[in-house]
Structure 1
Amino acid sequence: MSVLRVRVYYEDTDAGGVVYHANHIKYFERGRTEWLRELGYEQDRLMAQDLCFVVRALQIDYKLPARFNQVLTVETRIENMKRASMVFEQTIKNADQQVIAHGMVTVACVTLSSMKATAIPDQLKEDLLGAL
Protein backbone atom coordinates (compact mmCIF):
# COMPACT_ATOMS: atom_id res chain seq x y z
CA MET A 1 0.00 0.00 0.00
CA SER A 2 1.09 3.54 -0.67
CA VAL A 3 0.08 6.63 1.31
CA LEU A 4 0.12 10.19 -0.04
CA ARG A 5 -0.79 13.33 1.86
CA VAL A 6 -2.46 16.18 -0.04
CA ARG A 7 -3.62 19.57 1.15
CA VAL A 8 -6.90 20.98 -0.12
CA TYR A 9 -6.25 24.31 -1.82
CA TYR A 10 -8.84 26.99 -2.49
CA GLU A 11 -8.70 26.10 -6.20
CA ASP A 12 -9.86 22.55 -5.33
CA THR A 13 -13.12 23.75 -3.82
CA ASP A 14 -16.49 25.03 -4.93
CA ALA A 15 -18.13 28.25 -3.74
CA GLY A 16 -18.99 26.59 -0.42
CA GLY A 17 -15.40 25.63 0.36
CA VAL A 18 -16.04 21.91 -0.30
CA VAL A 19 -13.78 19.90 -2.60
CA TYR A 20 -15.38 19.72 -6.04
CA HIS A 21 -16.27 16.11 -6.82
CA ALA A 22 -14.00 15.77 -9.87
CA ASN A 23 -10.94 16.72 -7.84
CA HIS A 24 -11.13 13.44 -5.94
CA ILE A 25 -10.18 11.78 -9.24
CA LYS A 26 -7.09 14.01 -9.37
CA TYR A 27 -6.14 12.95 -5.84
CA PHE A 28 -6.53 9.31 -6.84
CA GLU A 29 -4.32 9.90 -9.90
CA ARG A 30 -1.64 11.51 -7.76
CA GLY A 31 -1.76 8.55 -5.39
CA ARG A 32 -1.18 6.05 -8.20
CA THR A 33 1.52 8.19 -9.83
CA GLU A 34 3.42 8.73 -6.59
CA TRP A 35 3.31 5.01 -5.81
CA LEU A 36 4.91 4.27 -9.18
CA ARG A 37 7.48 6.99 -8.47
CA GLU A 38 8.28 5.45 -5.05
CA LEU A 39 8.97 2.18 -6.86
CA GLY A 40 11.32 3.92 -9.32
CA TYR A 41 8.95 4.25 -12.28
CA GLU A 42 8.46 7.72 -13.71
CA GLN A 43 5.53 8.17 -16.08
CA ASP A 44 7.61 10.10 -18.62
CA ARG A 45 10.21 7.32 -18.75
CA LEU A 46 7.48 4.75 -19.31
CA MET A 47 6.06 6.91 -22.11
CA ALA A 48 9.54 7.16 -23.67
CA GLN A 49 9.39 3.35 -23.81
CA ASP A 50 6.03 3.60 -25.65
CA LEU A 51 4.13 2.43 -22.58
CA CYS A 52 1.42 4.09 -20.50
CA PHE A 53 -1.51 3.36 -18.23
CA VAL A 54 -4.98 4.60 -19.06
CA VAL A 55 -8.06 4.60 -16.86
CA ARG A 56 -10.58 2.11 -18.23
CA ALA A 57 -13.16 2.23 -15.44
CA LEU A 58 -13.78 4.24 -12.32
CA GLN A 59 -16.23 3.93 -9.47
CA ILE A 60 -16.31 6.43 -6.60
CA ASP A 61 -18.39 6.51 -3.45
CA TYR A 62 -18.39 9.92 -1.80
CA LYS A 63 -18.82 9.56 1.97
CA LEU A 64 -18.04 12.93 3.58
CA PRO A 65 -17.12 16.38 2.31
CA ALA A 66 -13.49 17.45 2.21
CA ARG A 67 -12.95 21.13 2.89
CA PHE A 68 -10.54 23.93 2.14
CA ASN A 69 -7.16 23.66 3.90
CA GLN A 70 -7.65 20.12 5.21
CA VAL A 71 -4.79 17.66 4.88
CA LEU A 72 -6.07 14.45 3.36
CA THR A 73 -4.49 11.03 3.06
CA VAL A 74 -4.80 9.07 -0.17
CA GLU A 75 -4.29 5.35 0.35
CA THR A 76 -3.61 3.24 -2.72
CA ARG A 77 -3.40 -0.51 -3.02
CA ILE A 78 -3.80 -3.08 -5.76
CA GLU A 79 -7.00 -5.07 -5.55
CA ASN A 80 -6.37 -7.22 -8.60
CA MET A 81 -3.77 -7.54 -11.34
CA LYS A 82 -4.14 -9.24 -14.70
CA ARG A 83 -1.85 -9.54 -17.69
CA ALA A 84 -2.56 -6.04 -19.04
CA SER A 85 -4.64 -4.33 -16.36
CA MET A 86 -4.84 -3.55 -12.65
CA VAL A 87 -7.64 -2.61 -10.31
CA PHE A 88 -6.63 -0.13 -7.64
CA GLU A 89 -8.58 0.38 -4.45
CA GLN A 90 -8.13 3.95 -3.29
CA THR A 91 -9.38 5.71 -0.19
CA ILE A 92 -9.22 9.37 0.76
CA LYS A 93 -9.31 10.05 4.50
CA ASN A 94 -9.33 13.17 6.61
CA ALA A 95 -7.08 13.86 9.62
CA ASP A 96 -9.52 11.95 11.86
CA GLN A 97 -9.16 8.88 9.60
CA GLN A 98 -12.76 9.25 8.42
CA VAL A 99 -13.31 8.09 4.85
CA ILE A 100 -14.00 11.00 2.52
CA ALA A 101 -14.18 8.94 -0.67
CA HIS A 102 -13.57 5.37 -1.74
CA GLY A 103 -12.75 4.41 -5.30
CA MET A 104 -12.05 1.41 -7.49
CA VAL A 105 -9.97 2.37 -10.52
CA THR A 106 -9.20 -0.01 -13.36
CA VAL A 107 -6.19 0.94 -15.47
CA ALA A 108 -5.05 -0.73 -18.65
CA CYS A 109 -1.45 -0.97 -19.80
CA VAL A 110 -1.23 0.18 -23.41
CA THR A 111 1.36 0.78 -26.09
CA LEU A 112 1.33 4.56 -26.40
CA SER A 113 1.77 4.68 -30.17
CA SER A 114 -1.16 2.38 -30.91
CA MET A 115 -3.22 2.73 -27.71
CA LYS A 116 -3.66 -1.05 -27.76
CA ALA A 117 -3.47 -3.23 -24.67
CA THR A 118 -0.11 -4.77 -23.87
CA ALA A 119 1.22 -6.89 -21.04
CA ILE A 120 2.44 -5.09 -17.94
CA PRO A 121 6.24 -5.50 -17.98
CA ASP A 122 7.32 -8.38 -15.74
CA GLN A 123 9.67 -6.28 -13.58
CA LEU A 124 7.01 -3.62 -12.98
CA LYS A 125 4.47 -6.29 -12.11
CA GLU A 126 6.93 -7.89 -9.70
CA ASP A 127 7.76 -4.56 -8.06
CA LEU A 128 4.10 -3.62 -7.64
CA LEU A 129 3.17 -6.98 -6.17
CA GLY A 130 6.24 -6.85 -3.91
CA ALA A 131 5.06 -3.50 -2.53
CA LEU A 132 1.79 -4.99 -1.30
Structure 2
Amino acid sequence: MSAAHRLPVTVWYEDTDMGGIVYHANYLKFVERGRSAWIAKLGIDQEALRQAGTVFAVRRIEADYLAPARFADELVVETRIRSIGPARCDMAQSVLRGETILFGARVTLVALGPSGRPTRLPAMLRDALTGAP
Protein backbone atom coordinates (compact mmCIF):
# COMPACT_ATOMS: atom_id res chain seq x y z
CA MET A 1 0.00 0.00 0.00
CA SER A 2 1.10 3.56 -0.55
CA ALA A 3 2.40 5.73 2.28
CA ALA A 4 0.18 8.02 4.33
CA HIS A 5 -0.70 11.40 2.88
CA ARG A 6 -0.53 14.49 5.12
CA LEU A 7 -2.52 17.66 4.43
CA PRO A 8 -2.01 20.81 6.54
CA VAL A 9 -5.26 22.51 7.60
CA THR A 10 -5.74 25.81 9.44
CA VAL A 11 -8.83 26.19 11.63
CA TRP A 12 -10.70 29.30 10.52
CA TYR A 13 -13.38 31.13 12.47
CA GLU A 14 -16.06 29.64 10.18
CA ASP A 15 -14.97 26.15 11.29
CA THR A 16 -15.82 26.82 14.93
CA ASP A 17 -18.89 27.02 17.11
CA MET A 18 -19.73 29.84 19.51
CA GLY A 19 -17.15 28.51 21.97
CA GLY A 20 -14.30 28.70 19.45
CA ILE A 21 -14.13 24.90 19.17
CA VAL A 22 -14.26 23.15 15.79
CA TYR A 23 -17.87 22.15 15.08
CA HIS A 24 -18.08 18.35 14.94
CA ALA A 25 -19.30 18.11 11.33
CA ASN A 26 -16.31 20.10 10.10
CA TYR A 27 -13.97 17.22 10.91
CA LEU A 28 -15.78 15.32 8.15
CA LYS A 29 -14.97 18.20 5.78
CA PHE A 30 -11.33 18.12 6.86
CA VAL A 31 -10.99 14.39 6.15
CA GLU A 32 -12.83 14.79 2.81
CA ARG A 33 -10.25 17.42 1.84
CA GLY A 34 -7.52 15.01 2.91
CA ARG A 35 -8.86 12.25 0.64
CA SER A 36 -9.37 14.63 -2.29
CA ALA A 37 -5.90 16.18 -1.93
CA TRP A 38 -4.30 12.73 -1.80
CA ILE A 39 -6.09 11.55 -4.94
CA ALA A 40 -5.05 14.74 -6.75
CA LYS A 41 -1.43 14.31 -5.60
CA LEU A 42 -1.47 10.77 -7.03
CA GLY A 43 -2.32 12.31 -10.40
CA ILE A 44 -5.92 11.09 -10.49
CA ASP A 45 -8.39 13.50 -12.11
CA GLN A 46 -11.67 12.96 -10.26
CA GLU A 47 -13.60 15.01 -12.83
CA ALA A 48 -12.26 12.80 -15.64
CA LEU A 49 -13.31 9.72 -13.64
CA ARG A 50 -16.79 11.20 -13.22
CA GLN A 51 -17.06 11.96 -16.94
CA ALA A 52 -15.96 8.37 -17.64
CA GLY A 53 -18.81 7.14 -15.43
CA THR A 54 -17.19 6.44 -12.04
CA VAL A 55 -17.93 8.41 -8.87
CA PHE A 56 -17.27 7.67 -5.23
CA ALA A 57 -19.66 7.60 -2.32
CA VAL A 58 -18.99 7.25 1.37
CA ARG A 59 -20.54 3.94 2.40
CA ARG A 60 -19.58 4.05 6.07
CA ILE A 61 -17.80 6.29 8.56
CA GLU A 62 -16.81 5.35 12.09
CA ALA A 63 -15.62 8.48 13.88
CA ASP A 64 -13.98 9.17 17.22
CA TYR A 65 -13.78 12.70 18.62
CA LEU A 66 -10.86 12.57 21.02
CA ALA A 67 -9.94 16.20 21.80
CA PRO A 68 -11.09 19.62 20.58
CA ALA A 69 -9.41 21.74 17.93
CA ARG A 70 -9.78 25.48 18.29
CA PHE A 71 -9.76 28.63 16.21
CA ALA A 72 -6.34 29.26 14.57
CA ASP A 73 -4.98 25.78 15.31
CA GLU A 74 -2.62 24.36 12.70
CA LEU A 75 -3.72 20.79 12.05
CA VAL A 76 -2.68 17.92 9.81
CA VAL A 77 -5.07 15.47 8.17
CA GLU A 78 -3.40 12.10 7.74
CA THR A 79 -4.89 9.60 5.30
CA ARG A 80 -3.84 6.01 4.70
CA ILE A 81 -5.28 2.94 2.98
CA ARG A 82 -6.41 0.07 5.21
CA SER A 83 -7.58 -2.22 2.42
CA ILE A 84 -8.87 -2.23 -1.13
CA GLY A 85 -11.58 -4.49 -2.55
CA PRO A 86 -12.95 -4.79 -6.07
CA ALA A 87 -15.32 -1.82 -5.68
CA ARG A 88 -14.35 -0.31 -2.32
CA CYS A 89 -11.53 1.32 -0.45
CA ASP A 90 -11.20 1.35 3.33
CA MET A 91 -9.19 4.24 4.75
CA ALA A 92 -7.94 5.34 8.15
CA GLN A 93 -7.85 9.09 8.69
CA SER A 94 -6.69 11.22 11.59
CA VAL A 95 -6.72 14.92 12.38
CA LEU A 96 -3.70 15.87 14.47
CA ARG A 97 -2.42 18.94 16.26
CA GLY A 98 1.29 18.26 16.58
CA GLU A 99 1.51 14.66 17.73
CA THR A 100 -1.93 14.69 19.40
CA ILE A 101 -4.72 12.88 17.57
CA LEU A 102 -7.89 14.97 17.88
CA PHE A 103 -10.16 13.00 15.57
CA GLY A 104 -9.95 9.55 14.02
CA ALA A 105 -12.11 7.99 11.34
CA ARG A 106 -12.42 4.74 9.45
CA VAL A 107 -14.00 5.50 6.08
CA THR A 108 -15.30 3.08 3.46
CA LEU A 109 -15.66 4.49 -0.06
CA VAL A 110 -17.49 2.67 -2.84
CA ALA A 111 -17.03 3.21 -6.58
CA LEU A 112 -20.38 3.72 -8.33
CA GLY A 113 -21.10 3.45 -12.04
CA PRO A 114 -23.57 5.49 -14.11
CA SER A 115 -26.50 3.40 -12.81
CA GLY A 116 -25.60 4.26 -9.21
CA ARG A 117 -24.64 0.64 -8.53
CA PRO A 118 -21.21 -0.47 -7.29
CA THR A 119 -18.60 -0.89 -10.00
CA ARG A 120 -14.98 -2.02 -10.03
CA LEU A 121 -12.36 0.53 -9.06
CA PRO A 122 -10.59 1.76 -12.19
CA ALA A 123 -7.25 -0.06 -12.58
CA MET A 124 -5.23 3.17 -12.70
CA LEU A 125 -6.77 4.29 -9.41
CA ARG A 126 -6.15 0.92 -7.77
CA ASP A 127 -2.53 1.01 -9.00
CA ALA A 128 -2.03 4.57 -7.74
CA LEU A 129 -3.49 3.76 -4.30
CA THR A 130 -1.47 0.57 -3.87
CA GLY A 131 1.75 2.09 -5.18
CA ALA A 132 1.87 -0.36 -8.09
CA PRO A 133 4.17 0.66 -10.97
- TM-score norm. by structure 1 comes to 0.95
Cα deviation code 1:75-103 (max 9, x no counterpart): 00000110000111000000x31000000
Structure 2, unpaired ranges of 5+: none
Q: Distance in 2 between matches of 1:69 and 1:38?
A: 26
SS of corresponding position for 2:24: coil
Report the counterpart of residue 100 of structure 1 in structure 2. 102
Could you say which residue in structure 2 is the equivalent of 1:32?
Answer: 35
Matches within 5 A, 1:1-132: 1-94=4-97, 96-111=98-113, 113-130=114-131
- For 1:47 and 1:41, the matched residues in 2 are separated by 11
Please report how far the alpha carbon of residue 127 of structure 1 lies from its aligned counterpart in structure 2 after TM superposition.
1.0
Aligned residues: 129
Q: Report the residue type matching 2:125 in the other structure.
A: L
Give the superposition deviation at 1:50: 1.1
Question: What is the distance in 1 between the residues matched to 2:32 and 2:46?
Answer: 12
TM-score by length of 2: 0.94
Distance, in Å, in 2 between the alignment partners of 1:48 and 1:100 is 36
Cα distance in 2 for partners of 1:16, 1:78 equals 34
Long gaps (5+) in structure 1: none
Residue 44 (structure 1) shift: 1.4
What amino acid is aligned across from residue 105 of structure 1 in structure 2? Answer: V
RMSD between superposed Cα atoms in Å: 1.0
Amino acid at match of 2:129: L
How far apart, CA to CA, are the structure 1 residues paired with 2:30 and 2:46?
Answer: 16
Question: Runs of at least 4 residues of structure 1 off by over 2 A?
Answer: none
Query: Which digits, 9 at most, give the CA deviation of each residue in 1:50-91, with x for residues without a partner?
Result: 111100000110110000011100000000110000111000
